Structure 1
């Protein structure tokens, strides 16, 4: 099976030993995104809604670099330091996704890189 590394300057650069995404066959595995602004590599300033939107925008940029879109995501994992933000995630997600929605997990965690409050990773399938 052929593997391809996905990279874009429109999403934050990797802050560790990983790729923004890796394609294996027609499946693309997107690494976790936190609400970093790609140009500054700093956390976006603003409300939790602004942070959630930044994460979705970062995921969208990586998906586009792979030749896909958020609509091609089949599995989305959401990590929150406060599960009280889960209803807001649902509300914002409705602006980015249409039915059929991806399978999803929402997980409460103690901490995230750079003290972010939210991180998401995803798996998408490319149309052949």
Structure 2
């Protein structure tokens, strides 16, 4: 089985030699921890809700480029610097998922890559399995 790098015109790729935003092997898609950044990779998005919405949208673009939908996402890991604002991330999550939500881990961390970054989310999707149950 080969490993395929997945890209989307909507998601800026990191510099060569650092990491990949998305890899696909077989019917499994792995999305790296993404943050709310603009096309120049500068932090954007405001508070937790806005940042989470931008991140889930970036995940959607990558999963779609891999041939799937958000219904194929089976696991997400969420890292936050202010866990007391978790309801805002959950509010954004409800805009992208329905039915049986993906399994999830939520962890508070002391900091992320830059002080303005409040949320980081990674995802795993299983393509072509009919989506999650309702």
Q: What TM-score do the two structures reach when normalised by structure 2? A: 0.87
User: CA RMSD for the aligned pairs?
Assistant: 1.5
Shift of 1:11: 1.0
| Structure 2 equivalent of residue 93 of structure 1 | 93
1:17 lines up with 2:8 in the alignment? no
| Structure 2 equivalent of residue 82 of structure 1 | 82
Cα deviation 1:69-109 (Å, max 9, x = unaligned): 22110000000011011111111211110011100000111
1:1-128 matched pairs, under 5 angstroms: 1-15=1-15, 17-37=18-38, 39-115=39-115, 116-127=117-128
Contact 2:83–2:108 (CA under 8 A) maintained in structure 1: yes
Cα deviation 1:32-88 (Å, max 9, x = unaligned): 100112x23221143332111111111111111111122110000000011011111
Secondary structure at the counterpart of residue 4 of structure 1: strand
Q: What are the ranges of 5 or more consecutive residues in structure 2 without an aligned counterpart?
A: 130-134
- State the alpha-carbon separation in 1 of the partners of residues 99 and 64 from structure 2: 19
- State the alpha-carbon separation in 1 of the partners of residues 21 and 69 from structure 2: 15
Contact 1:80–1:109 (CA under 8 A) maintained in structure 2: yes
